[in-house]
Amino acid sequence: MSGTSYEFFIARRYLKSRSKTGFINLITYISILGVAIGVAALIIVLSVMNGFESEVRSRIIGFDSHIRLRTYHDRGIDNPEEIMEAVRGLPHITGLSPYILDKGMIRSKINGKSSGVIIRGADQKTISQVSELEKNMIYGEMNLGPVRPVAEDTFLPGIVVGRWLADRLFLDVGDRVFLISPAGMQTIFNQPPVKQFVVSGYFETDMYEYDDNYVYISIESAQELFRMGHSVSGIEIHLDDFYKAADVVKIIDDKLGYPYYALSWFDMRKNLFSWMQLEKWAMFIALSLIIIVAAFNIITTLIMVVMEKTKEIGILKSMGATSKSIMKVFVFEGLVVGVIGTMIGFLAGYALCWAQMKYQFFSLPGDVYFINYLPVQVVPNDFLFVGGAGILICLVAAVYPAYKAARLIPVEAIRYE
């Protein structure tokens, strides 16, 4: 029997042994339960936060592109077709579409209600390559070309508006609206560009920021409204794997150089996604306190075991067991408690996450959140990280009692026995 096996064998006997009172065993079980609860809580909370992050990311990326190609100082791209042709063959790129993005004002012709909006000019032929706007249409159709107003024979350019914006301005399909642009307004005496449109449909992304502020018009109408000539604000790019966005951004920047630069989906919402990561770390640290409390129970348990097993430790040392071997015995005890507690926590945490993913029994108010159930996404790396942290805390907790046991002098240990 090797040294390690011998020490582990004794540690296991100490854990299974029946003490004169069942108190030590009870504390051991409480320690295991504490570790299990802490690990399960961490797994569940991290999985829920992963779920929320995934939902938010998928909705943002579904509305926006994976990458935006722009120019410094927002001077615009004068030759979008040439630039698209230059980047079309780069790795992972599956879709390209020019766009115009600027602010303006929308005003209903019927009731006079108005609101500030973000106007996006889009190429209807290619926008489906980079955006899920067409899938998000809930009423009417995504028609940015000529549309006939209700009870009229004339045709005007179509406009697609967000669901909550349409609700706020009492807009219906077929209504006329005015878009007003600040382009070219250098003094108060300048007349701002104004263009009429016909509402052709509503979209809903379940993201209030978009559904209450954005409108879509054709890229030709946007060029006219913002007096941009044949220029565009930039080019939207879709990838086969959005996690490759940072790599593709570097490739595009190296290929095109100044005055062009690319922004990934993460760069466009850096504050939001960085905050989510920070919150995830904060929750991990806070919930790790549960495991630390269980670790204090482990320290208490092992100190009491050392006190109870003083005679046995003295006998082992008198038979030739080294201080290092005695220390290993009690470190193994703490390690076993940590491993058992972690495994139970894994099973409990995964079982609850799986049940929520399958049955969605934890619901959310749909009128407050953009989803009506608690999202969960299980990530294997979280199990490795949480398990490693839990076992490490338990291992560290066992060091002090093990050190005290190793320092016992055989004669002193058995003198009064």
Identity at 121, one-letter amino acid code = G
Residues 281 and 401 placed together within one structural domain of the fold: yes
Alpha-carbon span 374 to 255, nearest angstrom: 43
**Are both 56 and 98 inside the same structural domain?**
no
DSSP 71-126: EGGG--BS-HHHHHHHHTTSTTEEEEEEEEEEEEEEEETTT--EEEEEEEEE-TTT
Are 115 and 161 in the same domain?
yes
* Residue where one domain finishes, among candidates 181, 216, 235: 235
**How many separate domains does the chain show?**
2
- 293 and 336 both lie in a single domain: yes
Write out the chain's pLDDT in tens, 417 residues: 444 566 766 666 666 655 554 556 777 788 888 899 999 999 999 999 999 888 888 888 888 899 999 999 888 999 999 999 999 989 999 999 999 999 999 999 888 899 999 999 999 999 999 998 899 999 999 999 988 887 777 889 999 999 999 999 999 999 999 999 887 565 566 678 899 999 999 999 888 888 999 999 999 999 999 999 899 999 999 999 998 999 999 999 999 999 999 999 999 988 888 888 888 888 888 888 888 888 888 888 778 777 777 777 777 777 777 778 878 888 888 888 889 999 999 999 999 999 999 888 888 775 566 677 888 999 999 999 999 988 998 888 888 888 887 777 766 656 545
| Pair 306, 406 in one domain | yes
| 267 found inside a domain | no
Per residue, the 3-state secondary structure of 236-303, as one string, reads EEEECCHHHHHHHHHHHHHHHCCCEEEEEHHHHCHHHHHHHHHHHHHHHHHHHHHHHHHHHHHHHHHH
Supply the pLDDT for residue 6.
65
Residue 40, domain member (yes or no): yes
Cβ atoms within 10 A of the Cβ of 14, count? Answer: 22
In a domain, 177, yes or no: yes
- Is 82 domain-assigned? no
On whether both 298 and 182 belong to a single domain, the answer is no
Q: Residue 25, class by beta-carbon neighbours within 10 Å (0-12 exposed, 13-18 middle, 19+ buried)? A: middle
Last residue within a domain, chosen from 210, 235, 260: 235
On whether both 46 and 98 belong to a single domain, the answer is no
Task: Say what the pLDDT of residue 294 is.
Answer: 82
| Residue at token pair 């749909």 | 366
Same domain, 298 and 191: no
Is residue 181 in a domain? Answer: yes
Residue 341's domain comprises 3-60+273-414
| 12 and 142 part of one domain | no
Quick check: is 80 in a domain?
no
In a domain, 127, yes or no: yes
Half-sphere exposure of 111 (CA within 13 A, CB side): 11
Asked if residue 214 and residue 317 are part of one domain, the reply reads no
Which of residues 208, 235, 262 is at a domain's end?
235
**Does 357 reside within a domain?**
yes
SS3 content of the chain, % helix, strand, coil (to 5): 55, 20, 25
pTM, rounded to two decimals: 0.76
400 and 290 in a common domain = yes
- In angstroms, what CA-CA distances link 135 with 10, 127, 141, 332, 380? 65, 12, 10, 57, 32
Q: Do 144 and 26 sit in the same domain of this protein?
A: no
